[in-house]
């Protein structure tokens, strides 16, 4: 079991520890098709298929709902409406009462608030029978006025809450005194999540009224509590299990509440398992999107392009209910500065209530829209002054090396938080050199001077993204670790795996702590019966929170094992060291598995929980001041594009990215996140266009009408690097930085490069004012605008 040592022998490093480019834990299963998703779980015998009947009206009063013919249809086991809910008819994530499960009941009537809202549900032996039965319903409605757009909502004063502002300095005075001033607007479209796996839930009833729900959700605890409220049960009667998701991107943070609740209702009503799975068209109609924005700005600046005063108005289409719009709107405001110091600033947000689907979380959570507005301001200032936009960006960076006279500090945000970790300048300097930005920009100008049809453009944009939930109580996580007597380890924590590599990263943290190969660690499904009251896997905080919680559990177990080993071999605890695959105890050396077996025989507890709460957070929303973020993640990208001025068609030719992940837990996973985030962001800004008709019906509800980026849309030349000088100033898990959301904003460089290319089609007098998404039509219209001045 052990041997006497004079000098510990050399050992091979562990496999899959922190910093290793380890493969995703499910990579092989993903490729081979053996990874089990919720829809792949073998269902119990007698499982019912559930179908939602959706409203075709955007806003209407339900004057009659007759479901008698539905109940008598072949195969029907249950028909559910608002009258059949034993608890509360609500699946709202935060503001309770404004997001009903069903819009109407046979006895109570009701009101539909958007085209696609669930009116009732049918549970039948097959999904075809459920759909056929739903078509027998008699539904009579009385149309009501519908507010569909941001413009209509602003004109009608249709808001979820009063306008909210953040401000610092005397904005009006700064604008009035500025040597130069301009105003403008950018319209930013929404985005469909288009996860590969749609919304799905399987509810299995148990004894005593209990129910277990398998679902595709970023927030199992919210599913648990939501189902409990709908069924009028205590939370302990509902167990939620999530092993993996086939993508989520924020679309499964709150949007999974409805299918889980309806499946659980059907299971409770019938005593049989029930499964609800949206088809793709229904999924796109029923679920919320990224918020579309209209951002107006009034900016004052000097001859060098230095920002002096900025007044920004952000109007976002929230849809028929709050969902997560309040926090999303706040984050858009937090990121209205991006990387730039604003000496006098006012940001006002209007959260518009419309009769459209309630928009929700999407990768970046409002941050991308706020940052894009700022990049438009910088770009238009540069155009007005005839300068390279990069020069204007550099002169306005936080903590600039040479602050201007009268500005003793350039490190305070509009919400009065001091930026202590700004590395944007260093990142930009390095990327400018490695991408040969200046040489290429000059070459592009030469090309454009001789090419009448194909115009090229280039842009470099930075990213500063705050890491933490802005709803402070969500910044907590728990973990559970068991060590079995053979030395194998069972890991469970509150985070969810949606393909982003969270599970393998946390496993690497545990492997590093115990100095065992990652293969010794079993990664288990997220389970509300193991770790309670979990926060959503969102805000890019999954590794930060759950990695630290797992490390806390490891410390508890290592302390127990250290005490045991020191007592057994009669040495000081300081002489116990965990080494690769073994433990050195003074001059003795024992295999890790042998130590665990001995500890078990000695009745040492080999199970521990861990917990982590993010420190330093202090945000006062009422005053708009404080520290909502623990730290910032940074990156920068250079994009080069080409446009056809006759058709508006465009291509991304080359992209250079330098991104700061601190001391990366897993460089391979992080590089994948950077690439995927960038491509998804480029899709949002160039091809992904959502369109509702005049009746409020979504028409882009399938792959045939909604264009996500394909492999062919990936830049021909894509050069990605993680910043090798990166390190987190704050004591995060192994000094790493979050990487899930920040890379998406690197795609702002694509829109700015397209704007640069469009500008080259004219004589320089008219700014392109290119909105997003920059579809071929919008590019073509912008070309016409810069050529004609219209």
Which residues are annotated as catalytic?
741
Distances (CA, A) of 416 to 169, 366, 423, 467: 11, 19, 19, 16
Residue length, the chain?
790
Helix (H, G, I), strand (E, B) or coil at 412: strand
Q: How far is CA 780 from CA 292, 448, 764, 775, in A?
A: 22, 17, 16, 9
Q: What is the distance between the alpha carbons of residues 8 and 5, in angstroms, rounded to a whole number?
A: 6
Are 678 and 746 spatial neighbours (Cβ–Cβ below 8 Å)?
Answer: yes
Residue with tokens 């949002």: 684
Cβ–Cβ < 8 Å for 321, 98: yes
Whole-angstrom distance, CA of residue 586 vs CA of residue 232: 58
Cα–Cα distance measured from residue 429 to residue 460, given in angstroms and rounded to the nearest whole number: 11
Distances 276 to 200, 204, 237, 332, 568 between C-alpha atoms, Å: 6, 12, 20, 34, 56
- What does the alpha-carbon distance between residue 373 and residue 680 come to, in Å, rounded to a whole number? 18
Task: Give residues with Cβ within 8 angstroms of 559, minimum separation 6.
Answer: none
CA–CA distance, 612 with 354 (Å, rounded to integer)? 39
Within a 10 A sphere around the Cβ of 215, how many other Cβ atoms? Answer: 26
Residue 559: in which H helix or E strand, if any?
A: helix 542-569
C-alpha angle 332-333-338 in degrees, rounded to nearest 5: 80
Region at 130 (left for phi over 0; alpha for psi -120 to 50; beta for the rest): alpha
Exposure string of 117-146, with b = 16+ CB inside 10 Å and e = fewer, is bbbbbbbbbebebbbbbbebbebebeeeeb
Find, among 514, 470, 173, the residue nearest to 325 by Cα.
470
Question: How far apart, in whole angstroms, are the C-alpha atoms of residue 86 and residue 675?
Answer: 46
The 3-state DSSP class for residue 308 equals: strand
CA-to-CA distance for 59 and 360, rounded, in angstroms?
A: 20
Burial class (CB in 10 A: 0-12, 13-18, 19+), 72: exposed
Residue 82 burial (CB < 10 Å; 0-12/13-18/19+)?
buried
Give me the numbers of helices (H) and strands (E) for the chain, helices first please: 19, 31
User: In 502-551, where do the E strands start and end?
Assistant: 521-523, 526-527
């Amino acid at each position: 079991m052990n041997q006497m040592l004079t000098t510990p022998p050399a050992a091979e490093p562990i496999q899959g520890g922190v910093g290793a480019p380890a493969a995703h834990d499910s990579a092989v299963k993903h490729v081979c098709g053996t990874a089990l998703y919720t829809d792949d779980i073998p269902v119990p015998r007698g499982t019912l298929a559930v179908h939602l009947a959706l409203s075709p009206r955007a806003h209407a009063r339900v004057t009659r709902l007759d479901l008698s013919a539905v109940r008598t249809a072949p195969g029907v086991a249950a028909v559910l409406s608002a009258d059949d809910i034993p608890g509360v008819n609500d699946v709202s994530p935060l503001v309770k009462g404004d997001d009903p499960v069903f819009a109407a009941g046979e006895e109570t009537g009701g009101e539909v608030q958007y085209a696609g809202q669930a009116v009732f549900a049918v549970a039948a032996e097959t999904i075809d029978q459920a759909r056929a039965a739903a078509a027998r319903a008699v539904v009579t409605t009385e149309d009501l006025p519908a507010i569909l757009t941001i413009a209509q909502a602003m004109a009608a004063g249709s808001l979820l809450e009063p306008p909210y502002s953040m401000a610092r300095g005397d904005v009006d005075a700064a604008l009035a005194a500025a040597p130069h001033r301009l105003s403008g607007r950018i319209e930013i479209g929404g985005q469909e999540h288009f996860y590969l796996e749609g919304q799905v839930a399987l509810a299995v009833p148990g004894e005593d009224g209990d129910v277990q729900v398998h679902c595709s959700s970023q927030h199992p605890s919210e599913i648990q509590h939501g189902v409990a409220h709908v069924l009028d049960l205590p939370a302990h009667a509902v167990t939620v299990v999530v092993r993996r998701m086939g993508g989520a991107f924020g679309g499964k943070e709150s949007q999974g509440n409805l299918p889980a609740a309806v499946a659980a209702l059907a299971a409770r009503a019938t005593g049989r398992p029930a499964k609800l799975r949206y088809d793709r068209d229904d999924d796109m109609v029923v679920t919320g999107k990224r918020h579309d924005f209209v951002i107006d700005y009034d900016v004052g600046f000097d001859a060098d392009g230095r920002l002096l005063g900025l007044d920004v108005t952000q109007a976002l289409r929230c849809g028929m209910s709050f969902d997560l719009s309040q926090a999303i709107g706040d984050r858009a405001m937090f990121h209205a500065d991006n990387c730039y110091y604003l000496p006098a600033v006012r940001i006002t947000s209007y959260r518009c209530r419309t009769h459209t689907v309630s928009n929700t979380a999407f990768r970046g959570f409002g941050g991308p829209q706020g940052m894009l507005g700022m990049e438009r301001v910088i770009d238009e200032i540069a155009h007005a002054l005839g300068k390279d936009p990069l020069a204007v960006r550099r002169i306005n960076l936080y903590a600039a090396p040479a602050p201007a006279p009268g500005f003793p500090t350039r490190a305070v945000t509009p919400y009065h938080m001091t930026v202590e970790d700004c590395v944007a300048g260093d990142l930009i300097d390095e990327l400018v050199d490695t991408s040969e930005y200046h040489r290429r920009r000059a070459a592009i100008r030469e090309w454009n001077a001789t090419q009448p049809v194909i115009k090229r453009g280039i842009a470099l944009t930075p990213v500063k993204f705050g890491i933490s939930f802005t709803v402070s109580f969500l910044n907590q996580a728990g973990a559970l670790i068991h060590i079995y007597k053979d030395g194998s380890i069972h890991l469970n924590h509150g985070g969810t795996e949606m393909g982003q590599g969270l599970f393998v990263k946390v496993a690497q943290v545990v492997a590093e702590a115990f100095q065992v190969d990652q293969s010794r660690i079993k990664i288990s499904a997220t389970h509300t019966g193991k770790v309670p009251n979990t926060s959503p896997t969102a805000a890019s905080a999954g590794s930060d929170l759950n990695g630290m919680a797992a490390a806390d559990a490891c410390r508890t177990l290592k302390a127990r094992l250290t005490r045991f080993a020191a007592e057994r071999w009669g040495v000081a605890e300081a002489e116990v060291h965990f080494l690769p695959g073994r433990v050195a105890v003074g001059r003795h050396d024992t295999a890790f598995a042998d130590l665990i077996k001995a500890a078990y025989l000695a009745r040492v507890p080999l199970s521990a929980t861990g917990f982590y709460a993010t420190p330093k957070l202090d945000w006062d929303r009422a005053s708009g001041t404080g520290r909502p973020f623990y730290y910032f993640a940074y990156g920068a990208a250079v994009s080069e594009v080409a446009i056809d001025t006759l058709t508006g068609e465009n291509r991304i030719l080359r992209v250079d990215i330098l991104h700061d992940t601190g001391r990366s837990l897993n460089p391979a996973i992080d590089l994948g996140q950077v690439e995927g985030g960038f491509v998804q962001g480029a899709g949002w800004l160039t091809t992904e266009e959502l369109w509702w008709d005049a009746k409020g019906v979504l028409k882009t509800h399938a792959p045939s009408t909604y264009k996500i980026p394909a492999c062919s849309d990936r830049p021909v030349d894509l050069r990605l690097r993680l910043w090798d000088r990166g390190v987190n100033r704050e004591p995060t898990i192994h000094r790493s930085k979050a990487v899930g959301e920040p890379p998406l904003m690197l795609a702002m460089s694509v829109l700015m490069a397209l704007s640069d290319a469009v500008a080259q089609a004219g004589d320089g007098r008219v700014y392109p004012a290119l909105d997003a998404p920059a579809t071929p039509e919008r590019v073509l219209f912008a070309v016409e605008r810069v050529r004609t001045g219209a």
